[in-house]
Homo-oligomer: A and B are copies of this chain.
Amino acid sequence: MPHIKNPTRTHSSEIARIAAERQPPPRILGDGRARVAIESVTPTVPGGPFAVKRIVGETVRVEADIFADGHDMISAVVRHRQVDAGNWAEVRMTPLVNDRWSAEFSVLTEGSHEFVVQAWIDHFATWRRDMVRRAEVSQDLSTEFLIGAALIDHAIADSPGDHTDLRRFADRLKRRSDDDRIEVALDDRLAALMAQADPRRFATQSATPTRIWVDRERARFSTWYELFPRSTGADESMHGTLRDVIGRLDAIANMGVDVLYFPPIHPIGTKFRKGKNNALKAGPNDVGSPWAIGGPEGGHDAIHPELGTVEDFEALVSAAHARGIEIALDFALQCSPDHPYVKQHPEWFKHRPDGSIQYAENPPKKYQDIYPFEFECDDWRSLWDELLRVVLLWVDRGVRIFRVDNPHTKPFALWEWLIAEVKSRDSGVLFLAEAFTRPKVMNRLAKLGFTQSYTYFAWRNGPWDLREYFTELTTTSAVDYFRPNAWPNTPDILTDYLQHGGRSAFIVRAALASTLCASWGLYGPAFELMERTPAKPGSEEYLDSEKYQIRAWDLDRPDSLAPLIRTLNLARRENPALQQDRTLKFHHCGNPAVVAYSKTAGDNIIVVVANTDPHNMQWSDVHLDLPALGIAENAPYQMHDLLTGVRYRWTGRTNVVGLDPATLPVHVFRVRLHQ
């Protein structure tokens, strides 16, 4: 009975306190004079006390329903700070409509920030509003002036500082001989001074601060390239090395890549090693899958000897860095039967009644080359600590981006803890979740701390699918926690669309990924060389997949898409609109095979129009929502195609495009209003 090791005696006694849905504490009767209610504070991440995500320099627009009994005036502020590192700063909220209030502030430093909303009855503002109304009719206001003076006197008594000016106002309001008292009462300077000195009695505050995690810019805007380092040798008989990768860096940088990601670079197990094309038995020269991590040479902290040494790795990191490229590593929590952990820490694995260790399964399929960790083991804390040690070791070696393999098959609590631990040491470390699973699971991983997430992009090929999916990602609360990273292919995903769509399919998918998402990536050189033969019909696996064998690629092929990828990435670098996802907006096309969307950043406007039919020329009218783009209804505007350099003149909402798969099936327009 291996996997329930420490049974409790009492039925349902072990209700763990990591409750997923943490509801607020029960009401405690406080001061009954706190009259302001605060509800529906946004931004917020549904489902828990999770942090909203932002990038250094970005704005946080806070909104809340704020209201009180009666008709008194309310004042409200947002208070915000970097957690444990500074005083609260404050910004006044202003009412919008229907009791909704808002305020904005910017987050200027990396790391954990927080904000609260505070609101109170503003008695002076109420008095001032009423004085305006009273002044409109003839009334004896003597007593009202004294009430105002008393409000000032109490503010002076309640708040520190020099109140000379306030005192002067109060004195004038008390002076019965003064004919100008109504002007004094309504003096803007008095209102401003009182806003400062308001004692804020009986204020209400959102009880727990909303957290904001602030990342460096690459969390939002990144261009990934996945490469098997062992496939960088001269031919398929040569095991490529980290030094070989250094030789490829210029070409990779030239494509506009800024994150170079490697599948696991650790020693590979030999027991039950898979052969070429996932054969059950490996031949004597088969190199095995990099995800079968661990051998006599070491585990997750070691480098496969045929790839090189730690010094080689550090040299590669430096060389990449010199070209504006960061190295991202895979973090795959599984072991080959030869991993050192298996002997050193058998308690981290599940044991079968026959004494063997439980291999991975998807019954009836068995994956005997892989041992998963048993995260329900008694020693889970030591396992977690070791995993943290491994990540921090690679951080020490210069890695600040991790692509996490199948995080949805490991406990949520592990990731929430591990990511927080790593970021508490280096707030600039980023994590990409490779979870292709159900929506709520993917969202949960993003909520609990993953910086970026793989998406369903690879399988969203038609205009309707693209519109539905990316509208959801960019206009719901997901935009505050789920940062999509769009990949047209991966070593596991060669879609039907790419298999059968020819060159046009690859072009369209690269253009869509790189313009729909501020972060995108591709698995190369398979992508730019349009590798598209599946392992078997109906499979999304590559034939002769690099997962199981070394490949040599002819990077100089004249049909390579590398120049297109470079052009797309240059457009991304030069256009802030493409460096974020919040302004994505779809526009109507009459032809259902054609998709059109825009992104804007200030006056930088990008419009993309793509033909998703890889086989046929398609014409479509494109109906742009001109007001949303800030374009006048009747003035002509220039559509500058960043892929070809051609400039078109458009007028009005509706224009027509023709897109031919045989040439270039997509426009990436920069809209130029002042020609």
A binding-site residues for B, Cβ under 8 Å: 1-4, 7-9, 11-12, 14-41, 46-49, 64-65, 67-71, 98-99, 117-118, 121, 123, 130-131, 133-134, 136-137, 139, 143, 146-147, 150-151, 153-154, 157-160, 199-210, 352-354, 356, 361-364, 375-376, 380-381, 384, 408-414, 416-417, 438-441, 444
Contacts and interface: CB of A to CB of B under 8 A. Distances in A.
A16 to B, nearest CB: 3
Given A38-B21, A99-B440, A440-B39, A199 B8 contact: yes
A38 B200 CA distance: 38
Contacts of A37: 20, 47, 412, 444
Contacts of A441: 67, 69, 99
Residue among A22, A28, A361, A416 with max Cβ neighbours from chain B (10 Å): A22
Given A7-B199, A133-B364, 5 more contacts: A4-B154, A16-B31, A17-B207, A18-B31, A22-B207
B18 A38 contact: no
A41 B21 contact: yes
Residue among A27, A39, A356 with max Cβ neighbours from chain B (10 Å): A27
A478 to B, nearest CB: 14
Contacts of A411: 32-33, 35, 69
Contacts of A32: 18, 375, 380-381, 384, 411, 413-414, 417
Contacts of A353: 143, 146-147, 150
Given A64-B21, A133-B364, A444-B37, A7 B154 contact: yes
A20 to B, nearest CB: 4
Residue among A23, A69, A410 with max Cβ neighbours from chain B (10 Å): A69
B30 A204 contact: no
A376 to B, nearest CB: 5
A71 to B, nearest CB: 7
* Copies, count: 2
Contacts of A361: 130
A161 B118 CA distance: 54
Contact of A49 (B25, B67, B410): B25
B139 A4 contact: no
Given A137-B364, A200-B14, A381-B32, A26 B208 contact: yes
B47 A21 contact: no
Residue among A98, A150, A210, A353 with max Cβ neighbours from chain B (10 Å): A353
A638 to B, nearest CB: 44
Contacts of A98: 438-440
A225 to B, nearest CB: 29
A375 B70 CA distance: 11
Contact of A123 (B3, B48, B153, B416): B3
A381 B413 CA distance: 45
Nearest to A438: B99
A364 B8 contact: no
Contacts of A154: 1, 4, 7
